[in-house]
Every structure is written in structure tokens, then in C-alpha cells.
Chains A and B, each alone.
Chain A
Amino acid sequence: MKTPFIALDQLDKRYPDHHAVKSINLDIDAGEFIAIMGPSGCGKSTTLRLIAGLDEPTGGEIRIGGDSMRGVPAFQRNTPMVWQSLALFPFLTVAENVAFPLRMQKVGAAERRKRSLEWLDRLGLASMAERNIAQLSGGQRQRVAIARALVTEPSVLLLDEPLSALDAHLRVRMQTELSRLHRELGITFVYVTHAQSEAFALADRIVIMSEGHIQQVGRPQDVYRAPANAFVAEFMGMNNLVRGEVRSTRDGVLDIAGALGDFRVPSATPRPQGSKGDFVIAADRIALKPEADGEGLSGTVLGLEFVGSTQTVFVEIEGGAEFRVQKQQHEIEALNLVPGRKVKLSWNPEHAWLLPQAA
């Protein structure tokens, strides 16, 4: 069996006032780009700080490259981190900032200078080497922080919400840059974020956390299409959760009855009658039709919201639930979807995803 590069084993962190990380297990492979996501306070940043050794776990163990990190202080781990606040040293120049980790490793001055300039060049900052940090723009500072973290050529890079301080177009550029660096260096990136777009654009695997627990680990498309539970479904945002109860099972299809009506949902395994049959249907899988037209759930348009080239339509279903439906601009116009308009919602039953039963 392959040993994971970073292993979190029953990792637990309790502060006097709250329990931040609750006995989580996670294996991260060498060279993987893994994103840890969740709402604020879910324990994702604490997990990162534990890996870096900036906090002591109150239980469990972290292994990096097979070695237990128990009792290994932060400065001996070589797990550099890019901080949300960047944490650049304001009294040092750009080049001196990048050279700092080498200076701590007692690398000679000439070698230090050469290697830090190489990294600055690699990140397009060669002309900024002698500047003060205060003279740089947000994006340039970001790159200094990345160069400083990578200058010792570590085998893992930790990133704590690194792009949250940048404006939208810079954020996309930095994403491309990070993606390129990850490809070129082939090292492990552990990336903490609350932004779905960043995690989806960058990560090989996504870890969803909530209240100190890991809710799901998987490839972005799996987490999106096949959420493990209601929390993940809701957190992904573009899913509609329908609660119901199993009526019968036949040929891999469950008949489910809920407050909104009767539905058919595919399921590889049968479920006993009367058990929970909650399922989700993604917002982009729902068809909208004028009310008079055909079958489906009846609802009233509440409002619309722009998301890039598509719009999200909020529909109130008879019976009280609220659905989100994602549509292209031209479809919205064709259907004349304005608030108050009555519509029918339907979907291909194959696209419904039955939530696994809680273990």
C-alpha cells in the first residue's frame, strides 16, 4: 500500500473556548493539489496551522513523509505557508524578504542573493528586488509571499486563503500562476479557502469541512454532483435539496414521497420502505416551462441574480420550498421570467442524486 505524503490521523484540536478540529483523518498524496473548504469557523485554517506546527494538536498525530511531527517545532518542519495577511517583513526589501528562509538556513550571502533573485525572476518581480514592501501593489506582494515560501524548495506549500485580499481579475491571474507553479514544481499544495471558484479551478481533490468535521473528500465534480450529505449539498450552493421518504424500490429506482410530491430517484442499492430518501437536484439540471405547459412542480418566480453569463432564478414552490434554477440569459428572455410569473419545474429523474444514508 502506498503511504500518503501527509497523513492526519485522528487529529484533534481543542481550545479553551471551542473544539476547532474533531478527530479528523485525511491522507494527502505527494504532488497533490488539495483544497480544504468550508464556512468560516469550520476548522480549516486550524488544520493548516496544525500541519505547519504553529499550533499543537490536543489529540492524534500528523505524519509528513512517514515521520511523526509530534514534538517537532514549526521551524524544523519546512512546511512554508502563504498567509492570508501575507506576513511580509516590512523592514526588509523584496529580495531580503525572499532570502529570509535561506538566511535562517545559514546559506551564504552570495548564494542567498542568487537564489532569491531567481525566484523573483520566476514570478516576474526581477525589477522589484530592491523595493520596499510598502511600494508594491497587492498582486506583487502576493507574489513576494509565494516566492519567499518556495525559495527553500520545500516538498509542500501551505496556502491560507491567499487570494482573498485581491480583486476579482487579479485573483484569476494568480490562480493561473498557482496552477502553473504546481504543475512545474510537482510538489504538494494544501490550499485553504472559502471560495468555491478557487477550489474548483485549482484542486485535484476537495475537502469540505464543517464544525470541525470532514464532511466529504473527493474530486471537485464528485463533490458537486454527488454530495455526501445535506450540508455539502447546501454548501455547494447550486443544489436543491428535496426531503422525502422511500415508498418502494424497483430496478435501481426509488419511489420517494415528500411534502412536494412524488419523485423517482435512481439508486444503486435498494432502501427499505419508510427510510429517509432525501435527494438533491442541481440547479443547472432543472427545466423551466410556462405554467400551462405540462407536468412538474408549480412555482412562482421570486427573483433573479446574475452569475456571469448565466442567471440564477429563485422559484418558490407551492408547499413552501425555494428552488434555485440556473439558466442562460437567452432562455430567461424567451420564457419572460419576471418575478411573480408562474412556472413549472421538471427534471430528468436520472439527474437526481440520492443522499447516502448517514453512517
Chain B
Amino acid sequence: MNTSLATRLSRLAQYGFLGLLFGFIATPMLVIVVFSFDANRFPTIPWGGFSLEWHRAILDDAMIRDAFLNSVLVGLGTAMLSTLLGFAAAYIDFRYRFRLKLPFVLLVAVPPAVPATILGMAMLAFLSRIGLFGRLETVMACHVAIATSFAMAIIRLRLNDLSRDLEPAAWNLGASPAAALIHVVLPFCKPALVASFFLSAAVSFDEFLIAWFVGGVHETLPVRILNLLQGQVNPKINAIGTVVLVISVALVLIAQRFTGVRAGRRPKPEGE
């Protein structure tokens, strides 16, 4: 059967629009990546030839190395704590009924909805009053507050698929409540736990504003980039940008891989 001209045109327009959209989003990032390997000191056309000079330069810069290390530490800590707390919150929502459940879930879910500036300022004011301002752990604590709500959302989605009978069945077969949690609930949630670990790491790794507000002298990588930009245009920025981009995309892709693992595959029962 011939598709009509109108259908084909419409399809073409759809693909065209999609292509433009992706181009619009991806081009700036692509430009950064391309020019980070440019031998020229300033990003100009024509390209000055391939060079690893700027990548080498960021390795030699102690402040960038420190900032990178800080980001990794904060990211890992955030990932672990957020996943743990997110699981705890999701499990409480799954297992128990109590009167203040809605406020409880909202409390965990709400931080990302608060504008980061306000959150950053509020945390700055609060943390400096209790004398915790300007520490790496402080940055981590703030990131945990944000990332936990993502972790809870992912793990809750998975727990929704957990049959209500599965945990009681484990008790019935001799598992104490703790053993049932370890041997039944956790294995069932594993894909979601891995996904929320990497997503939390990505959230922390990318976060600038709060880290800038509460970090003090401890710079994370995004904070270092801004400070570099404020000085002068520095070709190292493109190289850092490339590294950050690669790490963030990798983290999100890994997270996707684990959240999406059920989407395509469906169990096919066989005949007896």
C-alpha cells in the first residue's frame, strides 16, 4: 500500500524537528569536546590541529585535581547515603500504614522542587549558624537531601511491582523479618538500587549552586570551572568540560540501563 504524500511529508517534518532539537541541545557540548582537543589557545575556526595539551594542563593543575577528587568523594558518599535513605523511605512507604504517611513521603520528595538558590541560601544560613559551614561533608549532606528523593522515587517504583505476598511468604518459610528484607526485598530491588546509586552520583557530580554556597574553600569541579571562568578565558575549561560531560553521561547511562532493564523483556511462559 502506498503511503500518501501528506503522511510522508508529515513524517519527514517530525524527523526533521527531532533532528533539529537534538542538534540544538548537543551542539554546544560537541563544540566544547571538539575544541578541548584544539591546539589553538582560543576556540576559533579554523581548527589549529589535534592536541592533548589542555587535557595535560588540567592534570598538572593542583586545584583542578583537588576539585576533581572532592567531586568524586562527595559523589560517592552522596550515592551511598542517598540510596540507603531512599530505600529506607521507599520501604517504609511500602510496608507500613500510618497516619502521617503523605506528609512523610512529601517531605522526602520535595527538595528538588525547591529552587536551588533558595535551598543553597537556606542551607548556608542554617549550617553557618550551627558551625558546619565550609566542609566537604556539608556539601555531601546537602546533595544527599536532594538525591534521596530521586532514589526514593526509583526504588518506590520497583517496590510497587513487589507482590504483597512475597515477604509474608518468606516469613512463612522460616525467614525472620530481617532475613526476609535481606534475602527477598533487597535482591528484588537490586536493579533499582544500582540505578539510584549512579543517578545520585550524577546528581551530585553536576550540582553547582549548593556546592558553591556551602562548600567554602572546598571546591567541587563545577565550582572550580566557574572560578576559572571568572578569572579569564582559559582553554583548560573545555578540557574539564569534556571530562565532566563524559563522567556524567556515563553515570546516567548506567542508571538508565538498570531502571530500563524490565521495559523490553517480558517473561514468556512455556507450555508444559
Q: List A residues at the B interface (Cβ < 8 Å).
A: 52-54, 73-76, 78-81, 83, 85, 87, 89-92, 100-101, 103-105, 132, 134-140, 148-149, 152, 170
Minimal Cβ-Cβ distance residue in B for A84: B165
Q: A90-B188, A135-B267, A138-B269 are in contact. Are A83 and B165 (CB under 8 A)?
A: yes
The reply to whether A89 and B166 contact each other, CB–CB distance below 8 Å, is yes
Shortest C-beta distance, B264 to chain A (Å), equals: 14
Of A90, A100, A137, the residue contacting B170 (CB under 8 A) is: A100
CB-defined interface of B179-200 with A at 8 Å, one 1/0 digit per residue? 1100110011010000000000
When chains A and B are docked, how far (Å) is the Cα of A170 from the Cα of B272? 10
When chains A and B are docked, how far (Å) is the Cα of A343 from the Cα of B170? 59
> Using Cβ atoms and an 8 Å threshold, which residues of chain A touch B183?
100, 103-104
Shortest C-beta distance, B77 to chain A (Å), equals: 28
Of A90, A105, A134, A148, the residue contacting B269 (CB under 8 A) is: A134
> Using Cβ atoms and an 8 Å threshold, which residues of chain A touch B174?
75-76, 78, 101, 104-105, 152
Chain B residues 124 to 178 lying within 8 A of chain A, measured CB to CB, are: 163, 165-166, 168-177
5 pairs, A vs B, C-beta closer than 8 Å = A75-B180, A81-B172, A92-B187, A132-B267, A135-B268
> Using Cβ atoms and an 8 Å threshold, which residues of chain A touch B176?
73, 75
Q: A83-B165, A89-B184, A103-B183 are in contact. Are A75 and B269 (CB under 8 A)?
A: no
> Using Cβ atoms and an 8 Å threshold, which residues of chain B touch A137?
269-272
When chains A and B are docked, how far (Å) is the Cα of A87 from the Cα of B187? 15
When chains A and B are docked, how far (Å) is the Cα of A351 from the Cα of B188? 59
The reply to whether A140 and B272 contact each other, CB–CB distance below 8 Å, is yes
The reply to whether A100 and B271 contact each other, CB–CB distance below 8 Å, is no
Minimal Cβ-Cβ distance residue in A for B174: A104
> Using Cβ atoms and an 8 Å threshold, which residues of chain A touch B163?
85, 87
Considering the complex of A and B, which 3 residue pairs feature the smallest CB-CB distances, nearest first? A134-B267, A87-B169, A104-B174
The reply to whether B188 and A52 contact each other, CB–CB distance below 8 Å, is no
When chains A and B are docked, how far (Å) is the Cα of A39 from the Cα of B188? 34
When chains A and B are docked, how far (Å) is the Cα of A139 from the Cα of B183? 26
> Using Cβ atoms and an 8 Å threshold, which residues of chain A touch B166?
87, 89
The reply to whether A104 and B172 contact each other, CB–CB distance below 8 Å, is no
The reply to whether A80 and B171 contact each other, CB–CB distance below 8 Å, is no
Q: List B residues at the A interface (Cβ < 8 Å).
A: 163, 165-166, 168-177, 179-180, 183-184, 187-188, 190, 267-272
When chains A and B are docked, how far (Å) is the Cα of A136 from the Cα of B267? 9
> Using Cβ atoms and an 8 Å threshold, which residues of chain A touch B267?
132, 134-135
The reply to whether B184 and A74 contact each other, CB–CB distance below 8 Å, is no
> Using Cβ atoms and an 8 Å threshold, which residues of chain A touch B171?
53-54, 73-75
> Using Cβ atoms and an 8 Å threshold, which residues of chain A touch B165?
83, 85, 87
Shortest C-beta distance, A131 to chain B (Å), equals: 9
> Using Cβ atoms and an 8 Å threshold, which residues of chain B touch A149?
173
> Using Cβ atoms and an 8 Å threshold, which residues of chain B touch A101?
173-174
The reply to whether B270 and A135 contact each other, CB–CB distance below 8 Å, is yes
> Using Cβ atoms and an 8 Å threshold, which residues of chain B touch A104?
170, 173-175, 179, 183
> Using Cβ atoms and an 8 Å threshold, which residues of chain A touch B270?
135-137
> Using Cβ atoms and an 8 Å threshold, which residues of chain B touch A103?
183
Shortest C-beta distance, A15 to chain B (Å), equals: 12
> Using Cβ atoms and an 8 Å threshold, which residues of chain B touch A74?
168, 171-172
> Using Cβ atoms and an 8 Å threshold, which residues of chain A touch B272?
137, 139-140, 170
When chains A and B are docked, how far (Å) is the Cα of A259 from the Cα of B166? 54
> Using Cβ atoms and an 8 Å threshold, which residues of chain B touch A152?
173-174
Shortest C-beta distance, A142 to chain B (Å), equals: 10
Identify the interface centre among B165, B268, B271: most chain A CB within 10 Å of its CB: B165
Shortest C-beta distance, A204 to chain B (Å), equals: 24
Identify the interface centre among B171, B180, B183: most chain A CB within 10 Å of its CB: B171
Shortest C-beta distance, B242 to chain A (Å), equals: 39
When chains A and B are docked, how far (Å) is the Cα of A306 from the Cα of B113? 63
The reply to whether B169 and A83 contact each other, CB–CB distance below 8 Å, is yes
When chains A and B are docked, how far (Å) is the Cα of A103 from the Cα of B180? 12
Minimal Cβ-Cβ distance residue in A for B186: A91
Shortest C-beta distance, B184 to chain A (Å), equals: 6
The reply to whether A54 and B173 contact each other, CB–CB distance below 8 Å, is no
Minimal Cβ-Cβ distance residue in B for A151: B173
When chains A and B are docked, how far (Å) is the Cα of A101 from the Cα of B177? 14
Shortest C-beta distance, B252 to chain A (Å), equals: 25
> Using Cβ atoms and an 8 Å threshold, which residues of chain B touch A134?
267-269
Shortest C-beta distance, B94 to chain A (Å), equals: 16
> Using Cβ atoms and an 8 Å threshold, which residues of chain A touch B269?
134-138
> Using Cβ atoms and an 8 Å threshold, which residues of chain B touch A83?
165, 169
